[in-house]
Amino acid sequence: MSEEIQQSNSGQQLITHYFNQNPENSQDRQRISRKRKMDSELPKKKMSLKLKSDDESSNDNIQLQLTNPPNCQTIYKYLKSNKDVSNEAGNQSKALQLKNTEEGKQKAQGNDKSSFVKPKDSKVILQSVQKQNDDEANKLQQKLMEKEQVEKQLRQEKQQLENERQELIQQHNAFKKRTQVVFAEALKQVEELKREKMREYLERERYRLGEFVSSRNNVRFVEEWQDGYEIKQVKQNLQKLENERNELEKQKNEIKDKSLSKIQKDKQTKLLFDLDLQNGDLDNNQRKLRIQFQLSILKKEEEELRLKLQKLEEEKQQLAYKTRRFMEEQGAEPKWPLIAQRYQTLGLLGKGGFSEVYKSFDLQEFRVCACKIHYLNPQWNENAKNNYIKHALRENDIHKRLKHINIVSLYDTQEIDQDSFCTVLEFCDGTDLNQHLKKYKILAEKEAKLIIRQVLAALHYMSCSPTKIIHYDLKPQNILFHKGEVKITDFGLCKVLDYDTTRQELTSQGLGTYWYLPPECFLEQQNIQISTKVDVWSVGVILFEMVYGKKPFGDGMSQERIAQERVILNSYQVKFPQKPNISQECKDFITKCLTYNMEARWNISEAYYCNYIQNLKTTN
């Protein structure tokens, strides 16, 4: 196509050049061209009406055909070939348009024929179609109604089930509440029966073993123990036997000692029971033998009475402990019998300076627990109250993180009012080590080592935690027994070390129990550094007390006297008694724990993993 356009352009240039050289033919050419142009407009208009979509190429071919000038034979011949090409292109486009027009007419005629239906038939068809549409609409409407009914029924059933569920929940809650109330009442009745039984026991035993009696000491009243008739009788019998023994010893010393041969002594001994005692016909040797025989009988009677008195003294200790706890319980009735609508308080377990511990029952978990109620003194100022609360919350936070079989678990914390709150602890059904030692005085080395091993396991867990913890108040009162296990408790004075430190400055001098604290806690200087070796010293003191029945330093002394006489500061070396017989491994372990220099003293890991603690077979 581009070649044809180039040829047509070159032909126009030739025509222009020809007429420029022959100007005489230009007028005739113009007149003829105007005539031809006028003659060609009419068919052109007709053609444009018929073929509106005729392309530009066919119009160009028609114009070239109409504007063929005369007298240009050579140019005409030259352009003839181009004209034929353009006519052929135009004819092809026209043929294509005519073909498309015929096909469209045929399709339209076919559609008209197919869509042409008689009026009656069309009405029937429309009615049938309308009926089908109505049937389908009715079916859909019916399905929608069925769906709505099903959904409505499901909603009703769901609502009914929800109502039933809510009703069951309410019934369950009501039943649970009634159960808790009944259970709490039953527990209180049982506790009242126990208290009544305890009251009868104390009333009965106080005549036999004794009781506390108030006496006036200057300007204040103090409670002193007064022995019962049975203890008094045993002591009187012992005193009587002692007087008889002293009299016999005196008579024995008055008799002159005469040497007798072995045969004579045997003969005198044989004849001793054959003599007529009424006549008093006895010589000095016979009287001496008689006195010796009487002394041996008195000695046996005295031993029996002393064993009986020892047993009575043990019973008296238990009675005194129960009496004091019963008196405290009677004077400190809980103001909140039910704490947080969950914990039913029962009997009093112990009492401290600003706290009381009650045996309680969890009405939700249905388990026995211990509720420690912390009190704030109303006379304290705000700073003192805030410090106590801060200290108690710190203890609570530390204790809550400790999860070990040999550490008493902390279950919950509940606020009671503005001046008191409660911490719920694991209940230990046994006594503490202090009461155990009061009852048995001395423990076997194997039993003592088993106790110390469990204490060290708890301390090792505390020292290996991300935040190392120093108990600082480890003593027999804070070591409890529960179902064959040993558990430590009371973290009120504990110290927390940072993750990357092993020591901390001591900021609580004067606190703690002096018999179980190491010498560095009594230094009178600033920036005193302590570590977990404080608890190692306490372990050594407790083991010494268990196997020897007394404390290694300051035994029988008060804390004020220990502080005044600087007893612990002067305890450079531990001294072991002759009896009872303890293994050398046990003595070495105690010596390592009670090393005066903190740097040379064992740490908790060394004490826990030593051969003496880990190897139980070496114990006698």
Q: What is the mean pLDDT of each run of 10 residues along the chain (620 residues)?
A: 46 51 53 64 53 46 43 45 48 62 58 49 76 86 89 92 92 86 86 88 89 76 84 91 88 63 52 47 71 88 90 88 83 72 86 82 90 82 78 80 91 84 90 89 92 94 84 91 91 75 60 86 78 91 94 88 88 89 93 91 92 73
The three-point CA angle 81-87-91 to 5° equals 150
Q: What CA–CA distance (Å, rounded) separates 166 from 160?
A: 10
* Torsion 327-329-330-332 (CA) sign: positive
Cα–Cα separations (whole angstroms), residue 337 to 199, 322, 333, 346, 361: 21, 22, 9, 8, 11
Cα–Cα separations (whole angstroms), residue 33 to 19, 388, 476: 14, 124, 139
Q: What CA–CA distance (Å, rounded) separates 545 from 434?
A: 10
pLDDT of residue 175: 87
What residue spans in the chain does CATH classification 3.30.200.20 cover? Answer: 338-426
Q: What CA–CA distance (Å, rounded) separates 77 from 100?
A: 35
77 annotated as ligand-binding:
no
To which H or E segment does residue 216 belong? Answer: strand 210-217
- Given the DSSP bridges, would you call strands 220-227 and 469-470 parallel, antiparallel or unpaired? unpaired
* Fold of domain 338-426: Phosphorylase Kinase; domain 1 (3.30.200)
What residue spans in the chain does CATH classification 1.10.510.10 cover? Answer: 433-618
pLDDT of residue 335: 63
Q: May I ask the CATH class of domain 433-618?
A: mainly alpha
Cβ neighbour number for residue 97 with a 10 Å cutoff: 17
Q: Are the beta carbons of 324 and 291 closer than 8 angstroms?
A: no
Q: What CA–CA distance (Å, rounded) separates 403 from 411?
A: 11
Cα–Cα separations (whole angstroms), residue 157 to 40, 148, 169, 293, 577: 91, 14, 18, 101, 85
pLDDT of residue 513: 86
pLDDT of residue 74: 46
Does the pTM exceed 0.75? no
Placement of tokens 């140019």 in the chain = 75
Q: What CA–CA distance (Å, rounded) separates 243 from 367?
A: 58
Q: Are the beta carbons of 517 and 437 closer than 8 angstroms?
A: no
Placement of tokens 């009696």 in the chain = 213
Q: Are the beta carbons of 357 and 348 closer than 8 angstroms?
A: yes
Closest by alpha carbon to 447, among 540, 537, 543? 543
How is 308-370 classified by DSSP, letter by letter?
Answer: HHHHHHHHHHHHHHHHHHHHHHHHS--S-SEETTTEEEEEEEEE-SSEEEEEEEETTTTEEEE
Q: DSSP label at 502?
A: S
| Phi/psi of residue 550, nearest 5 degrees | -155, 165
Active site residues: 473
Q: What CA–CA distance (Å, rounded) separates 285 from 270?
A: 12
Q: What CA–CA distance (Å, rounded) separates 367 from 187?
A: 12
* Torsion 281-283-287-289 (CA) sign: negative
Q: What share of the chain is helix, strand, coil (3-state, %, to 5)?
A: 60, 10, 25
